[in-house]
A and B are shown apart, each in its own frame.
Chain A
Amino acid sequence: MNLHADLRQFLLQRQTRRAFLGRSSQGLGTLALASLINPTILKLAAAAGAGKKDSLTGAVNPCHLPPKARRVIWLTMAGGPSHLETFDHKPKLAEMHGQPMPESFTKGKQIAQLQGAKLVCFGPQHKFKTYGQCGAEICELFSHIGSLADELCIIRSMTTEAINHDPAHMFMNTGSQIAGRPSMGSWVVYGLGSDAQDLPGFVVLTSLGKGGQNQPIAARQWAAGFLPSRFQGVHLRSKGDPVLYLSTPPGVTREQQGDVVQAVNVLNAKHDAIVDDPEVSARIAQYEMAFQMQASVPELMNISQEPQHILDLYGCKPGDGSFASNCLLARRLAERGVRFIQLYHKDWDHHGGVKEGIALKAQEVDRPCMALMTDLKQRGMLHDTLVVWAGEFGRTPMSQGGDGRDHHNAGFSVWLCGGGIKPGLSFGATDELGYNAVENIIAVHDLHATMLRLLGIEHTKLTVKFQGLDARLTGVAGTLIDGILA
């Protein structure tokens, strides 16, 4: 971490705070104290002080390039969705069903659980249809997503370096298989700051699938790595406190909690007057933020405020913890200025029963994905929101155990939509059996580079000194995928 840049940034923010909070060198302005009880006062003051909405507060200021997207909603389909039953139609594989997989496809490739096993072709388990003006071929189980085919850009030539869940998620999120690197959300918030006044800039939501193949997801997937901790993803939970330790202790009213926070801040301000340490004023600001979050997060999470037709659009019930609810929350987070929103929906790991498994997943994600894009569009937010749908890898065209598919990293599908993406496009292709990406092969670093580009960041310039290197999300690689830019 470049300490100087970080400090400079902090001092700048502090100066701004001082200006709009009327902070004198002797203590906290009355406005700030009032704001502890009524957060809207602070919001108003912040808006007035900052002069304009959406001011950038990150390390990349101004943007390297004009941004096309202001925020990202990343729908992580955890477990590795089969491209062959979702977005990559392979009639030839159906013809070859039951026959040995030609060795020319598999030679020298990484194989996970099928190591040493006989490799047999396994035809697509569900039918495909063409959707939209663009004629995109999509599995008919995903007809809701299909109905928006003309908005989507489907990449069918995605590849990754890892073939086991944990390292593959790490690679997809951090561009490295070694633990300790910042997640993309952290990089983006570090680079661009956040427009959210009383919410973290990088938020993570998780949901479980009903099939039970719920692979573990480590908190490192949204960690800030070597970036300062304030850029880490905050996990909003559907059960218990949405943010850890958010609730005031039982028997303490919000007003009393406010009294405690106020007393802490007043005493800290008196202490600051003696020691003149920027850390103390930062601490005061964090207590303000925490106290505001105690009100704003429950308000955010309360989707029962949404009209019935919106709940119906997503197909969710308040408090059900479903992927659908999380999609609706993603929209609410986007509205509140959160920069990077990442949803994990688990249970895509279909080593067995891929046919039933995919059908179950389609029930869980098809409508909510459509609803999210539709909802963003009707609010005029889709054009500057980048939506990404991706797993950590795909599945083998070969069968595992007669009815499943193994992990596969040589070719799979992802789709993007919204901010700066060319709509109605199918990009890249795998070979006729869906094994290797063969046309417009895309690496994870390329996807990252392109996403950053859409946010106005030149990926080679978003660097932080770490272990002697100008470390970046894209490592030493990353090529812009020009073909998918609008």
Chain B
Amino acid sequence: MHMARFKLFQASFLIALALGAPSRAQTRPATSAAKASFNRDIRPVLSDNCFACHGPDTKKLKGGLRLDLRDQALKPAKSGQIAIVPGKPSESELVRRIVTQDEDDLMPPPESHKVLTQAQKELLRRWIAEGAEYQGHWAYLPPVQPPVPGTWNAIDFLVQRRLTDLGLQPSPEADRRTLARRLFFDLLGLPPKPEDVASFERDPSPDAYSKLVESILASPHYGERMAIGWLDVVRFADTIGYHSDNPRNVWPYRDYVIKSFNEDTPFDRFTREQLAGDLLPNSSLQQKVASGFNRLLLTTEEGGAQPKDYEARMLTDRVRAVGAVWLGQTIGCSQCHDHKFDPFTMRDFYSMGAFFSDIKEPIIGRREDGMLVPDNRQAAELDRLEEIATRAQHEFESPRPDLAASWESAVRETIEAEKHWTVLAPEKLVSAAGLKLTADNDQTITTERDPRNGKDTYRITVKTNLKGITGFRLEALRTDKLPGNGPGRAQDGNFILSEFSVDDAQTNKIALAEATATFEAEGFPASAALLGKNDANHGWSIRSSTGVNQAIHFVTKEPVAAEGDTTLSLVLKQSAGANQVLGRFRLSATTVAGGIRAGKTALPPAEIVEIVKLAAENRTEDQKLKLAAYHRSVAPELAGLRERVAEARKAKSDFEATVPRCLVSISMDKPRTVRILPRGNWMNETGEIVQPALPGFLRTPGKVPEDQSLNRFDLADWLVSRENPLTARVFVNRLWKQFFGIGLSKVLDDLGAQGEPPPNPALFDWLACEFMDSGWQVKHMVRLIVHSQAYKQVSTSPQNLQARDPYNRELARQSRWRLDAELVRDNALAIAGLLVPRIGGPSAKPYQPDGYWENLNFPVRTYDASQGSDQYRRGLYTWWQRSFVHPSMLAFDAPTREECAAERNRSNIPQQALVLLNDPSYVEAARAFAVRILKECHGDEAARITWAWSLALSRAPRPDELETTRALLDKHLAQYRGETKAAEEFLKVGSHPSPPNVDPAELAAWTNVARVILNLHETITRS
């Protein structure tokens, strides 16, 4: 069968030739097969074996010899010998040293454990004999688009030319079922529905394939599929990574990526928005979200972490990210020394890091909540609430000369009364909640933090020589160190004094007759703080007049009779909870006969007192404003208005709490200082200070003036400029892997000297140029690739081709590989009919084994699996806990995203079997799949198995497959009929309900059939 199709393809190829595709002889550049090519043959050998000591890292240079630069290699080294004499291998020291028997002279030296093969030695000798011509490193040379005859798909022309050179034949085109599945998995990450495959198979039109491609590209799931690889390489995750690995708000960035791929945002814009979206003029909300890219790195909240240490870690993290995402360079090495293989210096490294030194962020500790990212509806609501709040604020701030005059006279009275009060000096301060209470020089008492359950009782013991005390005063004092400026610790600065009492030295209660206050919140009068007049939820409170000084005065029933020093304990019970406890206060007593009742106002802060004492005409403008503001904040007449302002603000902040947020880049005016850290040591501050600069070896001299200061936007601009030969190559290389399973150069994160020179450089260059010329259109590249004959080939191959080209580097066939972790999940959920197609939103939590997070701490966390439809989201929405990535994902090689991951392992391990067999997500999917089989197909067993097969595999089972499956079904059906309880247990796995009228035994047996199908290698393989 293969042979037949193969011949057909050959025939069509020949026809294409006959129809005008220029013949090979005309288009192929004459290659003199004998001549050694520096980039292809020589550089890899020199780089791997010699550059560590004779390469770009000048600090490690041995014998004064550099082999990476031709003029250096041709000069006499320290020894006086000349390493390379072009055309004269016998006079070249290099040749002598690699062939010598003398262990002392041999290169590479034996202790390096590097050994040159005989072939490599011969190659070096021949290359010198041929003139020792150097070439610039292939990836640093600008890509040049090779000419391609117009009638050809360029990919096919360039692949075919290479195959012909190698004497290989292309494989035939795959059947339509395979093509449909391939396109669906590659472009959407979802399996096709049987009807999708059927209509494509039946479509006789010549553009059937194009129509399918276009319909797939128009699906919103395309963006989800494309996002997966990007999220890996930018290390997108929901948590900070180090130590406590706490959550942070970043998911709107993920949705930005999906949206960008769906809208085919040109890659140059995509780049600029992520690196510098915040710096774009009038940047949109989405562009700011894009700049969240700069915040995706690892951070720590660990106690004892040192800011300088983490500043250095964060800088290097970001430089590595630019290297991985855009440059395909392993520049991390240059943190400690000049790169050993590539011309990247330490200065380049730290100068690159300096681009990010303007980003506002805490170096250690919790991340901020981030920018609000409202959708249109939410934005409108925010505007409405803001308007209400502004209006209330405006009204509140209008001048009140009428009220001010009487208030000022009240203040003067209070000032006058002050001389009758004696401040009590605490001897002992006890908090029932065990908090530390501290008294200042002026006897002001402050608390250090919130009590654990939000309640507390303070017992303040004082010694006084006052005789005949007639009253006590508790001043509740404002401070900007407390929420809402105090005096309480509650969010709005409130407190509730549940009960105030005074014990004498014998712990007898001193009877209090009366309580008055400068302000009383509605329902919380001063009198409620008297002994016996309150319950746990009541007391004196000042809500709506917080943020200013207030006072409560108590009058004793009888003067406190005492001789000499008396010890008194003042007890402040505050049992309302929610941190409604005093944060700052002071206690006083008076002996004025009959006590002192509270006036209209408490003694204001000293600054206000001074202003009040001044005659109105002597007050400065600033003083007038301050006085008016203070008055507004205490005036009892304005309590209602204050409450309205507070409520309007609260309504807005409550609504804000429901709006998504995202960490984004915010540029600081004064960037952090960046120094070169000698040997990468952050404790060494002797290094030179550097400014943002582009890597020297890639920059066109003179293009950017040396004295111009650069920012992230300039970096982004340069990354996507024609001047930079790497970005386009790096992107198309990753893209290629998505469609062929391996890159054009196989090491995706290293296009440097230690990477792999591409086997087909012409093809690589053509694609890179095309990408730039198209205006960086990703969909254009995708179309080109999937329309190529190379893409459409079968993935099976005869033994001899497998042996010739085991990794399919030459594209004489397609490749096959197991689906990525997220898609393994999506595929099962889609087959089961459980998959929720909603795009974007907060990350979801699929079922996870209990205790998997037991080694997380600060705080200890439990995992609450998502409820309802959120349980069935696509894999890419899975909550990404860096230190404990979801175990199902991890088993299928999802990276932890602690570091940028340009590619994933593709392992085949027993954990994958355990996941597909036993993970409740897959057991539930199997059950839902079984329900579909029973409900949607009304045939006999064979018909149902066949239907299931077409749903999962887009084909009918072969007779032997049917037989195997039916045997299992019959056996388990019989067993479950006798074990209904077991069947019912089995069907309880997962929260998705089964329809009520299904026979449990039948459903259980079919669930096992469904499990078999979901576990098949073919089911989880793209071919």
Contacts and interface: CB of A to CB of B under 8 A. Distances in A.
Interface of A: 1, 3, 7, 108, 110-113, 115, 163-167, 178-180, 206, 208, 214-220, 223, 228-230, 234, 237, 239-241, 243-253, 256-257, 259-261, 263-264, 266-268, 270-271, 274-277, 279-280, 282-283, 286-287, 289-291, 293-294, 351, 406-407, 460-461, 465, 467-469
B630 interface: no
A279 B918 contact: no
B13 interface: no
Contacts of B985: 250-251
B754 interface: yes
A264 B1008 CA distance: 11
B818 A268 contact: no
Contacts of B986: 249-252
B908 A282 contact: yes
A230 B298 contact: no
A265 to B, nearest CB: 9
Contact of B964 (A1, A223, A263): A263
Given A220-B898, A229-B905, A247-B918, A469 B923 contact: no
B1017 A279 contact: yes
Contacts of A217: 855
A244 B914 contact: yes
A230 B806 contact: no
Interface stretch (B367-375, B446-454, B965-973): B965-973
A259 B971 contact: yes
A468 B908 contact: no
27 contacts: A110-B683, A164-B304, A179-B298, A206-B854, A215-B243, A220-B896, A230-B907, A230-B909, A239-B851, A245-B849, A247-B918, A249-B989, A250-B986, A251-B988, A253-B982, A260-B917, A267-B965, A267-B1016, A274-B796, A283-B1017, A286-B909, A290-B910, A293-B914, A468-B330, A468-B752, A469-B330, A469-B340
Given A108-B683, A110-B306, A166-B242, A460 B113 contact: yes
Given A165-B302, A219-B885, A179 B241 contact: yes
A286 B908 CA distance: 7
B836 to A, nearest CB: 23
Contacts of A460: 113
A280 B909 contact: no
A112 to B, nearest CB: 3
A264 B1015 contact: yes
Contacts of A277: 816
B1008 A252 contact: yes
A270 B854 CA distance: 42
Given A179-B241, A237-B851, A250-B986, A216 B918 contact: no
A368 B245 CA distance: 31
B1015 A260 contact: yes
Interface of B: 113, 241-245, 298, 300, 302-306, 309, 330, 332-333, 340-342, 683, 746-747, 749-750, 752-755, 795-796, 799, 802, 806-807, 816-818, 849-852, 854-858, 882-885, 887-888, 890-891, 893, 896, 898-899, 901, 905, 907-915, 917-920, 923, 958, 960-961, 964-965, 967-968, 971-972, 975, 981-989, 1004, 1008, 1011-1012, 1015-1018, 1021, 1023
Given A216-B855, A286-B908, A256 B975 contact: yes
A257 B888 CA distance: 19
B849 A229 contact: no
Given A164-B304, A260-B1015, A263-B968, A218 B1023 contact: no
B755 A468 contact: yes
A276 B858 CA distance: 51
A228 to B, nearest CB: 5
B237 to A, nearest CB: 11
A234 B915 CA distance: 14
Contacts of A282: 908
Contacts of A248: 917-918
B855, B987, B1023 pick with most chain A CB within 10 angstroms: B855
Contacts of B882: 218
Contacts of B1017: 268, 271, 279-280, 283
A460 B298 CA distance: 30
Contacts of B683: 108, 110
A13 to B, nearest CB: 12
Contacts of B298: 179
B304 A407 contact: yes
B304, B890, B1011 pick with most chain A CB within 10 angstroms: B304
Contacts of A406: 304
B899 A246 contact: no
B1023 A178 contact: no
Contacts of B987: 251
Given A239-B851, A293-B914, A256 B972 contact: yes
Contacts of A252: 982, 986, 1008
A251 B855 CA distance: 31
A465 B911 CA distance: 26
B247 to A, nearest CB: 14
Contacts of B855: 206, 216-219
Contacts of B907: 228-230
Nearest to B905: A229
A218 B884 contact: yes
Nearest to B302: A164
A185 to B, nearest CB: 15
Contacts of A263: 964-965, 967-968, 1012
A256, A257, A274 pick with most chain B CB within 10 angstroms: A256
Nearest to A460: B113
Nearest to A289: B910
A252 B972 CA distance: 10
Contact of B887 (A239, A245, A257): A245
B243 A219 contact: no
B306 A115 contact: yes
B750 A264 contact: no
A267 B961 contact: yes
B788 to A, nearest CB: 22
Given A112-B306, A216-B856, A220-B898, A245 B1011 contact: no
Given A110-B683, A166-B302, A179-B899, A251 B918 contact: no
A461 B112 CA distance: 9
Contacts of A220: 883, 896, 898
B970 to A, nearest CB: 11
B686 to A, nearest CB: 12
A282 B849 CA distance: 27
Contacts of A259: 968, 971-972, 1008
Nearest to B749: A467
B234 to A, nearest CB: 15
Nearest to B965: A263
Given A260-B917, A468-B754, 9 more contacts: A112-B306, A115-B304, A216-B245, A216-B855, A237-B854, A251-B983, A261-B913, A264-B1016, A270-B960
B697 to A, nearest CB: 16
Contact of A179 (B244, B888, B896, B967): B896
B6 to A, nearest CB: 16
A178 B680 CA distance: 13
A259 B1008 CA distance: 9
A251 B982 contact: yes
B1012 A260 contact: yes
Contact of A251 (B305, B920, B1004): B1004
Contacts of B854: 206, 208, 237, 239
Contacts of B971: 259
B245, B332, B333, B899 pick with most chain A CB within 10 angstroms: B899
Nearest to B963: A266
A275 B796 contact: yes
Nearest to B339: A468
| Those 3 A-B pairs whose CB atoms lie nearest each other, nearest first | A468-B754, A251-B986, A112-B304
Contact of A180 (B807, B898, B983): B898
Contacts of B981: 251
Nearest to B341: A468
